[in-house]
Amino acid sequence: MDLRLRELEVNDEREALAAHSEFPDWEFLLSYKPEYKWREYVSQTHDLRLGINLPKGRVPATFFIAEVDGEIIGRASIRHELNTFLRNYGGHIGYGVRPQFRRRGYATEILHKSLTYIRSIGVGEVLITCLDENVGSSAVIERCGGQLENIVDFEGKPLRRYWIRKH
Ligand SMILES: CC(C)(COP(=O)(O)OP(=O)(O)OC[C@H]1O[C@@H](n2cnc3c(N)ncnc32)[C@H](O)[C@@H]1OP(=O)(O)O)[C@@H](O)C(=O)NCCC(=O)NCCS
């Protein structure tokens, strides 16, 4: 599969904002607000990767666009370490695929490539979480080797916590 992960770029503005508007209750562009200047938003995501100007409560994280044949099909957010919130609920990696590109194995490939990346920066044991009701996401995690640790309450909903260990 010809899917690649790459950093967000200034000339992604139109397509990335279109993708962002396609998710009613999930953030494609993390912490994005319409009043932001695009160029500054892109540079903030690059800073976050390097741990520069980290907002309070955030850890260094890499934001990757997933691209197939030059089109944005999804994204991944890869946290380089866990804080208390991430250890309990958020996990190391979050991902999403645009509605028109679903059920083609893209999320599985995004997670697979994200695991290669996070291991390359020294994280061996990777926590991934998803709501129990998100059957698509739990299937993706299990396909990538996720072992269920437990199911916890997150804002009144059951949340599945999985570990993926290097073997
Ligand atoms: C969850 C999500 C990432 C899945 O993306 P995707 O590219 O469709 O996933 P894949 O094609 O890799 O799916 C792999 C398998 O998961 C299962 N699956 C995926 N979506 C499913 C769904 N809606 N219902 C049931 N099973 C599903 C299937 O078994 C699928 O394999 P198959 O198509 O061969 O049957 C996507 O629906 C999405 O972006 N949702 C909104 C954001 C989100 O929930 N992100 C995850 C946060 S934890």
Q: What tens digit of pLDDT does each residue of 30-41 get?
A: 999 999 999 999
Task: Determine if ligand 1 sits within 6 Å of the CB of residue 46.
Answer: no
Beta bridge pairs of residue 148: 162
154: left (phi over 0), alpha (psi -120 to 50) or beta: beta
* Ligand 1: centre distance to CA 144 (Å): 13
Q: Decide: 108 in ligand 1 pocket, CB within 6 A.
A: yes
Q: Which residue has the tokens 């999320």?
A: 107
The pLDDT tens digits of the residues spanning 110-165 come to 999 999 999 999 999 999 999 999 999 999 999 999 999 999 999 999 999 999 99
Q: How far is the CA of 132 from the centre of ligand 1 (A)?
A: 13
Q: Is 42 in the pocket of ligand 1 (CB under 6 A)?
A: no
- CB-CB contact of 126 with 93 (8 Å): yes
